[in-house]
């Protein structure tokens, strides 16, 4: 299923612009607070890590949740007040490795890389697209079960470059697929879905598109597709 359609955006309205400014200011303040928590967690891990299994578990949980909250804040800022992209030639394979470093897989999931080493550099905003890929990976991590696989592929044809994240998870029903970019699940606001909405927006800002295909019982494929020679 191709999900490249873009809904209208109120970016031009004064009210929207003011709201975006306020959210970005609050977001920066929240990220500063989260940075303090992250540094304190790192300090406690250095001092107390390895001494008690329960303490280690809670320190790991604290570090993980601080990272999740930071990503949520960034996603909200990008959704409401997106920054203009800074386009430059980028190595897509390096972008994959960066996203994996910034969004590590949970225990029991080991992404398998199949990267085309002959890829030419393409024009995109590397920071925004790495964040977009991280959001896609975070969504997929949440749906995978022990024993499921996740394969990350880069490839090209005569016109386009593809970055594909292919999992063997449970797959999505038609209704789930259609509501994948609505930022709301059946139980209300869902941060992973907001992350996908932001990912689609960030990829589009670099001239690409985010596509998704899924079959129940077989898995889901997310594809970040970029033009090889953008106009």
SS3 sequence of 50-109? CCCHHHHHHHHHHHHHHHHHHHHHHHHHHHHCCCCCCCEEECHHHHHHHHHHHCCCCCCC
Alpha-carbon dihedral sign for residues 98, 102, 103, 108: positive
C-alpha angle 187-22-135 in degrees, rounded to nearest 5: 45
C-alpha angle 215-219-225 in degrees, rounded to nearest 5: 90
Give me the chain's average pLDDT, please: 84
User: Does residue 227 surpass a pLDDT of 60?
Assistant: yes
Residue of higher predicted confidence among 24 and 203: 203
Q: Give residue 76's pLDDT.
A: 77
Summarize pLDDT for 8-53 with one digit per residue, the tens. 333 334 444 666 677 777 777 787 888 899 899 988 998 888 889 8
User: Does residue 178 surpass a pLDDT of 70?
Assistant: yes
Structure confidence at residue 188 as a pLDDT band (50, 70, 90): low
- Nearest-angstrom CA–CA distance, 190 and 195: 9
- Nearest-angstrom CA–CA distance, 1 and 213: 5
- Nearest-angstrom CA–CA distance, 25 and 140: 30
Helix (H) or strand (E) holding 16: helix 14-48
Structure confidence at residue 78 as a pLDDT band (50, 70, 90): confident
- Nearest-angstrom CA–CA distance, 130 and 121: 15
Q: Give residue 210's pLDDT.
A: 97
Looking only at the bridges linking them, the beta strands covering 188-189 and 122-124 are unpaired
Looking only at the bridges linking them, the beta strands covering 88-90 and 122-124 are antiparallel
- β-partners of residue 184 are 189
Summarize pLDDT for 121-160 with one digit per residue, the tens. 999 999 999 999 999 999 999 999 888 999 999 999 989 9
Helix (H) or strand (E) holding 129: helix 126-143
Q: Give residue 15's pLDDT.
A: 43
User: Does residue 87 surpass a pLDDT of 80?
Assistant: yes
Q: Give residue 173's pLDDT.
A: 92
- Nearest-angstrom CA–CA distance, 2 and 222: 10
- Nearest-angstrom CA–CA distance, 28 and 138: 22
């Amino acid at each position: 299923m191709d999900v490249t359609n873009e809904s209208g955006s109120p970016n031009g309205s004064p009210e929207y612009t003011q709201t975006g400014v306020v959210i970005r200011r609050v977001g920066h303040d929240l990220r500063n607070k989260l940075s303090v928590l992250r540094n304190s967690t790192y300090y406690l891990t250095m001092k107390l890590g390895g001494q008690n299994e329960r303490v280690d578990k809670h320190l790991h949980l604290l570090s993980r949740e601080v990272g999740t909250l930071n990503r949520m804040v960034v996603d909200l800022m990008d959704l409401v007040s997106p920054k203009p992209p800074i386009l430059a030639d980028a190595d897509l394979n390096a972008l994959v490795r960066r996203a994996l470093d910034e969004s590590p897989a949970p225990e029991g999931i080991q992404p398998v890389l199949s990267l085309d080493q002959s890829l030419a550099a393409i024009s995109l905003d590397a920071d925004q697209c790495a964040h977009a890929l991280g959001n896609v990976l975070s969504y997929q991590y949440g749906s995978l079960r022990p024993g499921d696989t996740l394969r990350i592929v880069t490839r090209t044809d005569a016109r386009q470059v593809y970055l594909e994240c292919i999992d063997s998870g449970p797959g999505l029903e038609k209704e789930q697929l259609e509501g994948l970019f609505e930022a709301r699940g059946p139980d209300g606001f869902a941060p992973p879905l907001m992350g996908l909405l932001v990912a689609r927006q960030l990829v589009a800002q670099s001239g690409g598109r985010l596509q998704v295909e899924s079959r129940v019982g077989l898995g889901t494929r997310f594809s970040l597709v970029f033009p090889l020679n953008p106009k």
